[in-house]
């Protein structure tokens, strides 16, 4: 049986609403038998610490105020979540505990750890009862009965046996942060000790994974509240995570990773406020590429220590309840200590320690092995250019520390991040569809790559056809992709493709869909779930049912991902840009019309009745103008899709069937397979020749026209064949050209016209490159 551990921190349990959210996460993402570790709700631990301080100061007024606050907070949570006997028993227990605390205060028997333990006990009991009230099999545990330390050393064998109490058929809700000594006295595991409890339990029950549910969406390259461009990393290797923890990263804590050493247990940092959002996985060394991070160091003391013993930093960290970082520079040992704890550490190391810098701030830059010294120099130059006087620099192969007098403001952090972190990002590209357009796209990529690389290093990592794929996470040589395809392409299932995408450890990932497959387009939500940007020439997703389409747009927005589909209408013509630009500049489109199909434009222009229409259809297919099945063009469906894509671009909530369609082929040919179509082409020829003859009688030519009219209260949309006067701009189009005629508030009588080739491999592939280029521009910003 595989089990997981889920840990919820104080912010995840700060109100009844948050308990509801946590319960939903448990029910959806955990399984019976899993262990759920909880911290004290909201600010409960801080309040308990305040109570302890008031007790030490014998401040009776403060004691009764804090007790009243604790009681009110717990009462509110219980009253909001529990009913009937669940509520009664929880309130009864709470009352008894508060009375007992009061008695201990009065008799001077209060113990700090025992007092602090109440926060976690209350959370575990409340969550357990709330689950039971919902008829969910759940049991709550006091970790003091499961985790024992003797003289500060965890009793692993004993603890493993104790953890055998966890039920395989219930959710096991257990307190974080607390353990007991051999005499059964309460011990706390230090600030953020609940994360440590979670990884300890994971080790003891041989869990598959530990999820740390917190209030941020994983681990970022720097504080996302300060630097907008902070990158959320999908994977971080344990070595870097450890270093970040020692340097005071607010999400990863120093001891958390220790129990996972030499295990395969996966550690994931996820947001309990947005449980569907992407997370950060902390993986074993070598399973993620090394990344760059900037950690803020605000208000630190730098101490120089003589004769530091082995294990002494760990011991000091335990005493001051804070991760401490130490390093050796020119044979001298330095300790970086939060300024608030500097005095305590100086006292603890009395006679062996002196203060080098007092209350300094700055940054630690964690980087790829070997980059640390160079990065320190670059950071020094950047900070000097931005008027920051450095007090101290230390550099190592894997990181560097730069300390200065003042805290670095958002502007300076952003500059550092742009110049030192963002530059190390890469974009991994997967191309699906190696047909007419796809192969030309790859040919053009050979030249285009150097331009893109100046913006953002781009790596082609995957190629996909309907039945085979080639994946190489370290990069496929674009110049020789055909040879690599010949030797390494393999058959695949969708699940394999998705797991390859999940595994890709790049700052940015992109799937380019140049297939004509509806089935492939239906995978977009899963691509987005794996944090992939999307570029497509395929029109299916853009014309999918509105609910699906809107959900996709929403998921993209939530993850800050882009979807570009410039070529799905008008091939390389900038019609999407034009419509967006008009709207962004305050214009209002009133009518959009024209010829939107390259194939139908070419067929209608070339048709003279001397060559059968069906022969021209086959030529259009051979030239790569038509859809893989040209009936998609002849049915008018392709144009209907294009008009819908543009209508949605204008903010209209239309479905495909809201656009009236009349086809350019007889009804009899719309059904049946390709053979049937080929066998009955004569029907098509007769159908078109009759319509053309009729139009000629009126001195007109046939054109397949799309039209969308927007008035204040009504939208009409249609696509179909029309007889057009020979001098009309639609009639004089070059074969294969599209024309988009836009009437708007500012272009009312004299419309804005975009005209040019509307199909063809080169222009379409170039249009996909335009999307790729602009994606790189925006990611490189």
Ligand X SMILES: N[C@@H](CC=O)C(=O)O
Active site residues: 642
Among 220-228, 301-309, 537-545, 613-621, the segment contacting ligand NAI (CB under 6 A): 537-545
d(CA 614, CA 607): 10
β-sheet with 293-305: strand ranges across: 325-329, 332-338, 293-305, 353-366, 399-404, 390-395
As a three-state string, the secondary structure of 372-427 is HHHHHHHHHHHHHHCCCCEEEEEECCCEEEEEECCCCCHHHHHHHHHHHHHHHCCE
β-sheet with 153-154: strand ranges across: 153-154, 148-150, 178-181, 186-188
466 binds ligand NAI (CB under 6 A): yes
515 binds ligand NAI (CB under 6 A): yes
Residue 242 · residue 257 · CB < 8 Å: yes
- Out of ligand X, ligand NAI, none, what residue 223 binds, judged by CB under 5 to 8 A for its kind, is none
d(CA 555, CA 572): 27
| Cα diameter, the chain | 110
Residue 122 · residue 78 · CB < 8 Å: no
- Out of ligand NAI, ligand X, none, what residue 597 binds, judged by CB under 5 to 8 A for its kind, is ligand X
Of 525, 545, 628, 651, which lies in the binding site for ligand NAI, with binding defined by CB under 6 A?
628
Beta strand extents in 208-291 (DSSP E only): 209-214, 219-220, 232-233, 235-237, 266-271, 280-283
Of 437, 442, 634, 692, which lies in the binding site for ligand NAI, with binding defined by CB under 6 A?
437
Q: Which residues contact 493 (CB under 8 A, 6 or more apart)?
A: none
Of 194, 567, 614, 738, which lies in the binding site for ligand NAI, with binding defined by CB under 6 A?
567
d(CA 362, CA 366): 13
Q: Other CB atoms closer than 10 Å to residue 337's CB: what's the count? A: 25
Q: Which two tokens stand for residue 241?
A: 């995570």
Shortest reach from residue 661's CB to ligand NAI, in Å = 17
Among 37-45, 419-427, 428-436, 673-681, the segment contacting ligand NAI (CB under 6 A): 428-436
Q: Among residues 426 and 771, whose Cβ is nearest to ligand X?
A: 771
543 binds ligand NAI (CB under 6 A): no
Q: Which residues make up the interface to ligand X (CB under 6 A)?
A: 571, 597-599, 625-627, 633, 638, 758-759
- Out of ligand X, ligand NAI, none, what residue 464 binds, judged by CB under 5 to 8 A for its kind, is ligand NAI
Q: Among residues 253 and 641, whose Cβ is nearest to ligand NAI?
A: 641
Among 197-205, 534-542, 575-583, 701-709, the segment contacting ligand NAI (CB under 6 A): 534-542
- Out of ligand X, ligand NAI, none, what residue 633 binds, judged by CB under 5 to 8 A for its kind, is ligand X
760 binds ligand NAI (CB under 6 A): yes
Residue 463 · residue 435 · CB < 8 Å: no
d(CA 371, CA 423): 13
x-or-dash pattern for ligand NAI, window 598-617, by CB under 6 A? Answer: x-------------------
Q: CA separation (Å) from 381 to 47, 295, 357, 375, 384?
A: 45, 18, 21, 10, 5
Of 304, 465, 621, 700, which lies in the binding site for ligand NAI, with binding defined by CB under 6 A?
465
200 binds ligand NAI (CB under 6 A): no
Helix or strand or coil: residue 721? Answer: strand
d(CA 359, CA 582): 54
Rg of the chain in Å (alpha carbons): 33
Which residue is nearest to ligand NAI, using beta carbons?
A: 435
Which residue is nearest to ligand X, using beta carbons?
A: 599
400 binds ligand NAI (CB under 6 A): no
Of 341, 759, 766, 775, which lies in the binding site for ligand NAI, with binding defined by CB under 6 A?
759
Residue 110 · residue 58 · CB < 8 Å: no
Shortest reach from residue 658's CB to ligand X, in Å = 20
Shortest reach from residue 168's CB to ligand X, in Å = 56
- Out of ligand X, ligand NAI, none, what residue 519 binds, judged by CB under 5 to 8 A for its kind, is ligand NAI
342 binds ligand NAI (CB under 6 A): no
Q: Among residues 427 and 571, whose Cβ is nearest to ligand X?
A: 571
770 binds ligand NAI (CB under 6 A): no
571 binds ligand NAI (CB under 6 A): yes
Q: Which residues contact 687 (CB under 8 A, 6 or more apart)?
A: 665, 666
* Interacting residue ranges for ligand NAI, rule: CB under 6 A: 432-438, 464-466, 514-517, 519-520, 537-539, 567, 571, 598, 624-625, 627-628, 759-760, 764
């Amino acid at each position: 049986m595989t089990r997981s551990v889920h840990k919820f921190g104080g912010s995840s349990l700060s109100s009844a609403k948050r308990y509801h959210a946590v319960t939903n996460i448990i029910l959806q993402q955990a399984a019976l038998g899993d262990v759920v570790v909880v911290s004290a709700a909201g600010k409960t631990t801080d309040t308990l610490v305040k109570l302890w301080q008031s007790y030490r100061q014998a401040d009776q007024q403060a004691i009764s105020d804090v007790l009243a606050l604790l009681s009110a907070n717990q009462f509110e949570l219980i009253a909001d979540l529990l009913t009937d006997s669940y509520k009664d028993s929880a309130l009864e227990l709470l009352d008894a505990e508060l009375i007992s605390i009061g008695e201990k205060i009065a008799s001077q028997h209060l113990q700090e750890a025992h007092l602090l333990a109440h926060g976690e006990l209350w959370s575990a009991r409340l969550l357990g009862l709330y689950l039971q009230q919902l008829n969910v099999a759940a049991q709550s545990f006091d970790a003091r009965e499961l985790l024992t330390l003797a003289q500060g050393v965890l009793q692993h064998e004993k603890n493993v046996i104790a953890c055998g109490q966890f039920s395989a058929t219930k959710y096991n809700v257990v307190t974080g942060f607390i353990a007991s000594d051999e005499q059964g006295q309460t011990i706390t595991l230090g600030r953020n000790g609940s994360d440590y409890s979670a990884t300890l339990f994971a080790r003891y029950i041989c869990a598959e994974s530990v999820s740390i549910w917190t209030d941020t969406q994983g681990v970022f390259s720097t504080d996302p509240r300060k630097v907008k461009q902070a990158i959320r990393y999908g994977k971080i290797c344990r070595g870097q995570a450890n270093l970040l923890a020692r340097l005071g990263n607010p999400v990863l804590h120093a001891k958390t990773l220790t129990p996972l050493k030499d295990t395969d247990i996966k550690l994931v940092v996820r947001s309990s406020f947005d449980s569907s959002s992407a997370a950060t996985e902390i993986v074993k060394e070598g399973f993620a590429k090394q990344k760059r991070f900037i950690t803020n160091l605000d208000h630190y003391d730098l101490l120089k220590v003589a004769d530091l013993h082995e294990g002494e930093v760990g011991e000091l960290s335990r005493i001051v309840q804070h991760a401490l970082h130490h390093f050796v520079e020119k044979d001298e040992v330095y300790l970086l200590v939060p300024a608030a704890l500097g005095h305590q550490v100086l006292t603890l190391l009395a006679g062996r320690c002196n203060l080098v810098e007092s209350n300094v701030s700055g940054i630690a830059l964690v980087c790829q092995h070997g980059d640390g010294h160079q990065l320190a120099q670059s950071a020094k130059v950047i900070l000097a250019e931005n008027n920051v006087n450095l007090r101290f620099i230390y550099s190592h192969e894997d990181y560097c520390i730069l300390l200065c007098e003042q805290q670095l403001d958002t502007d300076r952090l952003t500059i550092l991040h742009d110049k030192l972190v963002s530059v190390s990002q890469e974009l991994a590209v997967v191309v699906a569809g190696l047909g007419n357009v796809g192969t030309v796209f790859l040919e053009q990529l050979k030249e285009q790559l150097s331009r893109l690389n100046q913006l953002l290093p781009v790596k082609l990592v995957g190629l996909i056809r309907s039945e085979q794929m080639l994946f190489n996470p370290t990069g496929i040589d674009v110049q020789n992709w055909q040879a690599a395809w010949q030797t390494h392409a393999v058959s695949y299932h969708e699940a394999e493709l998705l797991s390859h995408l999940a595994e890709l450890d790049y700052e940015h990932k992109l799937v380019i869909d140049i297939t004509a497959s509806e089935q492939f387009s239906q995978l977009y939500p899963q691509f987005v779930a794996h944090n992939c940007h999307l570029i497509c020439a395929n029109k299916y997703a853009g014309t999918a049912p509105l609910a699906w389409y809107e959900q996709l747009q929403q998921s993209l927005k939530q993850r800050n991902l882009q979807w570009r589909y410039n070529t799905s209408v008008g091939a390389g013509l900038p019609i999407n840009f034009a419509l967006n630009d008009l709207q962004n500049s305050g214009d209002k489109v009133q009518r959009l019309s024209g010829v939107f199909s390259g194939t139908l434009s070419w067929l209608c222009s070339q048709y003279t009745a001397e060559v059968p229409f069906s022969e021209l259809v086959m030529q259009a297919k051979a030239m790569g103008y038509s859809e893989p099945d040209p009936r998609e063009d002849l049915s008018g469906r392709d144009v209907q899709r294009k008009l819908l894509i543009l209508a949605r671009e204008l903010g209209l909530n239309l479905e495909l069937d809201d656009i009236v369609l009349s086809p350019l082929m007889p009804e009899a040919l719309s059904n049946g397979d390709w053979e049937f179509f080929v066998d009955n082409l004569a029907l098509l020829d007769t159908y078109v020749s009759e319509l053309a003859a009729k139009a000629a009688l009126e001195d007109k030519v046939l054109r397949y026209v799309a039209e969308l009219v927007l008035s204040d209260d009504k939208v009409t949309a249609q696509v179909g064949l029309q007889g057009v006067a020979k001098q009309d701009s639609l009639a004089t189009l070059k074969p294969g050209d599209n024309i988009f005629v836009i009437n708007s508030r500012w272009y009312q009588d004299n419309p804005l016209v975009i005209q040019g080739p509307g199909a063809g491999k080169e222009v379409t592939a170039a249009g996909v490159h335009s999307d790729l280029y602009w994606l790189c521009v925006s990611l490189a910003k």
